[in-house]
Amino acid sequence: MPKLWNCGNNVPQVVGNPLAIVAQQFDMRANVVTGVITGAVYGSNQILCGNVFSNQWLVTEYRSGTVYGQNQILCGNV
């Protein structure tokens, strides 16, 4: 489950489209046959939080409904 970690109380927006609001948290699920997880996550060059580029996603892995391992912070440009 990715969660936009460092946006604070700011509303995350897509760069160049201030009316497009970015989901701050969402679920990504593995394909039941292949086990592959796919999905789109906005990069640091695509999100503004309080007019500042934001690039940190806190990712929590779940297995069988419980937290597995430690949270990971992902950063980067797309």
What is residue 65's three-state secondary structure?
Answer: coil
Sketch the domain layout of the chain as residue ranges: 2-74
pLDDT at residue 33 in the model: 93
58: nearest Cα among 24, 10, 12: 24
Q: How far is CA 25 from the centre of its chain?
A: 6
* Residues 41/55, Cβ–Cβ less than 8 Å: no
29: nearest Cα among 58, 61, 7: 61
Q: What would the mean pLDDT of 61-66 be, rounded to a whole number?
A: 76
Neighbours of 19 (CB within 10 A): 6
Query: Could you read off the pLDDT of 17-54 as tens digits, one per residue?
Result: 878 878 888 888 888 899 888 877 777 788 888 888 86
Which residue shows structure tokens 């760069």? 15
Q: pTM for the full model?
A: 0.59
